[in-house]
Chain A
Amino acid sequence: MNRSLENAKKTTSLASQIQAATGIALHHCYQCGKCAAGCPVADTMDLPSCQVLRLLQYESPEFDRQVLQSEAIWLCLSCETCHTRCPQDIGTPKVMNFLRGEAMRLRLAHPRSKDTQAFHHAFLGSVGRHGRLYEIGMLMGYKLRTGHLLKDMALGSKLHEKGKLNLLPHAIEDKAALKRLFKQTLNNPDSKE
């Protein structure tokens, strides 16, 4: 394993890509650990959020790759607890989001992220088609993608009782605007806002 950091910055590092795409300066992180301390899923992460940032600070290809291959970036719920509490105002969820996109693009995503990716696809697919969530459609899409056909079926009846499962989708009125929105976002996925 080449641990040498001499090649740092010769290729564009993730940190500089993140700064260009989101304006977040990762070298502002001084490793206090408050993000990891408050993170609700830190226990299940292979790298606590502060170490994700620390590895990125090196701007070394090896460490960058390690971050992209980590499971942690897929476990982040984007709950924003870390960002709310960060003394240096670093938007870690946004960083995680960028890393997920990059991991998928470079086909480095962690094997266990398959289900999460399937959920994201099913969710966005449903919203993209109808402008709001069509639960049954999304569930079917998710289950077909993952093969977990019978998992969590008991929850289905509860959702039905509460009237959450409508048989037919309810679409929004201005579908053209929706299309524009999606097109714009997909063309410029890392826009700052």
Chain B
Amino acid sequence: MSRVGVFVCHCGENIGSTVDCPEVAERCKQMPGVVHAEDYKYLCSNPGQNKIKQAIKDHQLEGVVVAACSPRMHEPTFRRAVTDAGMNAYLCEVANLREHCSWVHEEADSTTEKAVDLVRLQLEKVKRNKPLQPIEVPITKTALVIGGGVAGIQAALDIADSGHKVILVERSPALGGHMAQLSETFPTLDCSQCILTPRMVDVSRHPNITLMTYSEVEHLDGFIGNFKATIRKRARKIDEELCTGCGECLQKCPSKDISDGFNEGLTTRRAIYVPFTQAVPNIPVIDVENCRHYQKKKCDRCVKACPTKAISFNQQDELIHVDVGAIVVATGYKVMSTEKFPEYGYGTYPDVITGLQFERYASASGPTQGVIKRPSDGKEPETVVFIACSGSRDAAKGVKYCSKICCMYTAKHAMLLKHKNHNSKAYVFYMDIRAAGKNYDEFVRRAIEEDGVKYIRGRVSRVYEEDGKLVVKGADTLLGGRPVEIKADLVVLATASLPNDGQSELARKLHVGCDEYGFLAEAHPKLKPVETNTAGIYLAGACQSPRDIPETVAQASAAAAKVAALLSRSHLTREPIVAEVNRRPAPLHSDCTGCFLCESACPYRAIGQEEILDRDGIVIKTIAKINPGLCQGCGTCVATCRTKAIDLHGFSNEQIFAEIMSL
């Protein structure tokens, strides 16, 4: 190629004041391969672009170098312009005379000289450019939502309502997550289950949603628009088609003393159980670890009790393969257990409980039907101490971050206690009250001013038992650190929110990043808060960082909007700047020797293996194959390849060397 046009932009004074632009254009005319060169005040303007288009026609240009600002700024503009004139977009290159030259140098001959060099580099590159076509990738119009808490429910409903299919995968036997466990929600005190259960039912009835409870994502392959997920549907040991949810089996099961996870261990359940009364789906699960049929090889009472013969002891886990175009991860959080606090009794005092356990006491569906009691003797506590920041903002022994929801739910707990037992006394030890949110601070002030909750600013140093009371020793920093001691009947720790169990393993399977604490990482904290670094995978809720229900729902809807936008397109267009493994005539077939160093080096898992077969279908060579849908054009594989079998379209080794040699 030898018919290149060079266009030098003044960018007003930005380039023109330090670089002699007419001189650059004049010098370029002397360079081999340049048939046309000119300078102009603003090339990005319409007249400027028209100059380029006209020159392409007048001089039958086969390549264009625009010497202007950063290609990040206007490369798309100029590529569109050359396309309008009938040239392939990838035959246009931008030499950055502004950020790389005029802005960083004084006006001098050497500055102009450098500008000429920068143009010469791009000229050598553009001479070796090949026309490239954008890659079109088809999209599977189904979304996978992982996690059936409020985030997953909201995301699934929003995507389904926009007309796309959704597969909702929940690890536990029922939908609802932590929100189903809560009593009332701040700052309005509406009942958590009352607002959540209709949503759960909506999910189960929505024609676009396939609900898979008691299931987990086992494996994920593919790329944006074309993921292939393997889901393990764990055996419930119940035939879901036959079960009517009558609950006969639940009464007959003889294995009784199993800690009930939904009630945070405050009660027991049986080996065949439904997590809670309003569970969706209302189908029991047999807990194989505790079931006598499996552990002692006898007992079939549930089978006898079942009127529809739905118990199926031989049911096995199923691996289900699904194709999806986008994924929303909404795997939630867990709370730190009381065992983590030696100074508060290492979890040995039964009446030192977590906030989530308090929620179960306060909940109408909880073990006490909403009466606040204490675990040790079932009495209603008179004096309750709430300790905020238990493990949060504690770099030495807990976590460094603020768990964000504790200030509000602690105020709510204290308020609920006062509402349910007017003679009780509620003390809250806090460091700061972080109540930023609509009606949040008013809510905390209401707890203090109307319900008489006593807030004490300071951390509790120790809790110990004495004469059937829990002695809470703290200090009031508003009184200069004066020691304060309260004899309490119940102590509630607002323990830190942590990344959920198995979240890091899931992150590895999905190939999304985690932050230093193990929460899933967003692509950009401000501008891409629901995206991950893997295209097509989005985040919703507390799997990203601790957050409350309003924020979780907002984020879930945001993620759903991103998914809906993606799935509503017929195909994806991607930059053709991707790597490719070369092919040669037989018997070499390719320079690739199949060492697959590139496969492990690729940060996007875009490299797989390809078998080259002879006519009889026998494998004669296995070489690397790069998936253009996944490749981001970073060039790591090109640098890694020992035989130089890989080249990057648009940035070939030949082009880079030519650029360097021109200097």
Q: Interface on A for B, CB 8 Å cutoff?
A: 3-6, 8-9, 25, 27-28, 30-31, 50-51, 54-55, 57-58
Q: Determine how close the nearest CB of chain B comes to the CB of A12; give it in whole angstroms.
A: 15
**How far, in whole Å, are A127 and B185 apart by their CA atoms in the complex?**
59
**How far, in whole Å, are A57 and B480 apart by their CA atoms in the complex?**
15
**How far, in whole Å, are A98 and B487 apart by their CA atoms in the complex?**
30
A5 and B476: CB pair below 8 A? no
| Stretch with Cβ within 8 A of A (4 or more), from B162-170, B187-195, B398-406, B449-457 | B449-457
Chain B, 248-292, CB within 8 A of any chain A CB:
none
B479 and A51: CB pair below 8 A? yes
A-chain residues with CB within 8 Å of residue B448 when the two chains form the complex:
27-28, 30
B478 and A5: CB pair below 8 A? no
Chain B, 383-399, CB within 8 A of any chain A CB:
383
B-chain residues with CB within 8 Å of residue A57 when the two chains form the complex:
454
**How far, in whole Å, are A6 and B486 apart by their CA atoms in the complex?**
6
**How far, in whole Å, are A57 and B448 apart by their CA atoms in the complex?**
11
B486 and A54: CB pair below 8 A? no
A5 and B479: CB pair below 8 A? no
Looking at the complex, which one of A5, A9, A30, A50 makes contact with B485 (CB distance below 8 Å)?
Answer: A5
**Across the two chains, which residue of chain B brings its CB closest to A53?**
B478
Q: Determine how close the nearest CB of chain B comes to the CB of A161; give it in whole angstroms.
A: 48
**How far, in whole Å, are A58 and B455 apart by their CA atoms in the complex?**
9
B487 and A4: CB pair below 8 A? yes
**How far, in whole Å, are A84 and B322 apart by their CA atoms in the complex?**
68
Judge if B550 is at the interface, Cβ distance under 8 Å. no
**How far, in whole Å, are A50 and B486 apart by their CA atoms in the complex?**
22
B485 and A27: CB pair below 8 A? no
Judge if B32 is at the interface, Cβ distance under 8 Å. no
A-chain residues with CB within 8 Å of residue B478 when the two chains form the complex:
31, 50-51, 54
A-chain residues with CB within 8 Å of residue B454 when the two chains form the complex:
27, 57-58
A6 and B457: CB pair below 8 A? no
A54 and B452: CB pair below 8 A? no
Looking at the complex, which one of A8, A9, A30, A54 makes contact with B476 (CB distance below 8 Å)?
Answer: A54
Q: Determine how close the nearest CB of chain B comes to the CB of A61; give it in whole angstroms.
A: 14
A6 and B487: CB pair below 8 A? yes
Q: Determine how close the nearest CB of chain A comes to the CB of B419; give it in whole angstroms.
A: 17
**How far, in whole Å, are A159 and B478 apart by their CA atoms in the complex?**
45
Main secondary structure of the interface of B (DSSP, over half): strand
A3 and B484: CB pair below 8 A? yes
Q: Determine how close the nearest CB of chain A comes to the CB of B431; give it in whole angstroms.
A: 13
Q: Determine how close the nearest CB of chain B comes to the CB of A35; give it in whole angstroms.
A: 13
Tally of chain B residues near chain A (CB < 8 A)? 17
**How far, in whole Å, are A8 and B454 apart by their CA atoms in the complex?**
12
Judge if B207 is at the interface, Cβ distance under 8 Å. no
Task: Check A5/B449 contact, CB under 8 A, given A54-B478, A54-B479.
Answer: no
**Among all A-B residue pairs, the 3 with the closest Cβ atoms:** A6-B487, A3-B485, A31-B478
Looking at the complex, which one of B445, B480, B486 makes contact with A5 (CB distance below 8 Å)?
Answer: B486
Q: Which of A6, A31, A50, A55 has the most CB of B within 10 A?
A: A6
**Across the two chains, which residue of chain A brings its CB closest to B383?**
A6
Name 8 A/B residue pairs within 8 A (Cβ), A-sorted. Answer: A3-B484, A3-B485, A4-B486, A5-B485, A6-B383, A8-B425, A28-B448, A31-B478
B485 and A4: CB pair below 8 A? yes
Q: Determine how close the nearest CB of chain B comes to the CB of A13; give it in whole angstroms.
A: 12
B486 and A27: CB pair below 8 A? no
B457 and A31: CB pair below 8 A? yes
**How far, in whole Å, are A30 and B455 apart by their CA atoms in the complex?**
9
Q: Determine how close the nearest CB of chain B comes to the CB of A65; give it in whole angstroms.
A: 14
B484 and A5: CB pair below 8 A? yes
A28 and B449: CB pair below 8 A? yes
B-chain residues with CB within 8 Å of residue A25 when the two chains form the complex:
449
Q: Determine how close the nearest CB of chain B comes to the CB of A90; give it in whole angstroms.
A: 11
**How far, in whole Å, are A77 and B13 apart by their CA atoms in the complex?**
67
**How far, in whole Å, are A82 and B454 apart by their CA atoms in the complex?**
23
Judge if B483 is at the interface, Cβ distance under 8 Å. yes
**How far, in whole Å, are A182 and B486 apart by their CA atoms in the complex?**
45
Q: Determine how close the nearest CB of chain A comes to the CB of B340; give it in whole angstroms.
A: 27
**How far, in whole Å, are A58 and B445 apart by their CA atoms in the complex?**
17
Scan B487-508; emit 1 where CB is below 8 A from any A CB, else 0. Answer: 1000000000000000000000
**How far, in whole Å, are A51 and B477 apart by their CA atoms in the complex?**
11
**How far, in whole Å, are A9 and B422 apart by their CA atoms in the complex?**
14
A-chain residues with CB within 8 Å of residue B457 when the two chains form the complex:
31
Chain B, 306-339, CB within 8 A of any chain A CB:
none
**How far, in whole Å, are A3 and B474 apart by their CA atoms in the complex?**
11
Given A5-B485, A27-B452; 20 other pairs, CB 8 A cutoff: A3-B484, A3-B485, A4-B485, A4-B486, A4-B487, A6-B383, A6-B486, A6-B487, A8-B425, A9-B425, A25-B449, A27-B454, A30-B448, A31-B457, A31-B478, A51-B480, A54-B476, A54-B479, A57-B454, A58-B454
**Across the two chains, which residue of chain B brings its CB closest to A25?**
B449
**How far, in whole Å, are A55 and B445 apart by their CA atoms in the complex?**
19
Q: Determine how close the nearest CB of chain A comes to the CB of B489; give it in whole angstroms.
A: 10
B-chain residues with CB within 8 Å of residue A55 when the two chains form the complex:
479
Q: Determine how close the nearest CB of chain A comes to the CB of B439; give it in whole angstroms.
A: 17
**Across the two chains, which residue of chain A brings its CB closest to B477?**
A31
**How far, in whole Å, are A102 and B339 apart by their CA atoms in the complex?**
48
**How far, in whole Å, are A30 and B449 apart by their CA atoms in the complex?**
10
Q: Determine how close the nearest CB of chain B comes to the CB of A33; give it in whole angstroms.
A: 9
**How far, in whole Å, are A176 and B460 apart by their CA atoms in the complex?**
60
Q: Determine how close the nearest CB of chain B comes to the CB of A20; give it in whole angstroms.
A: 15
**Across the two chains, which residue of chain A brings its CB closest to B457?**
A31
B-chain residues with CB within 8 Å of residue A28 when the two chains form the complex:
448-449
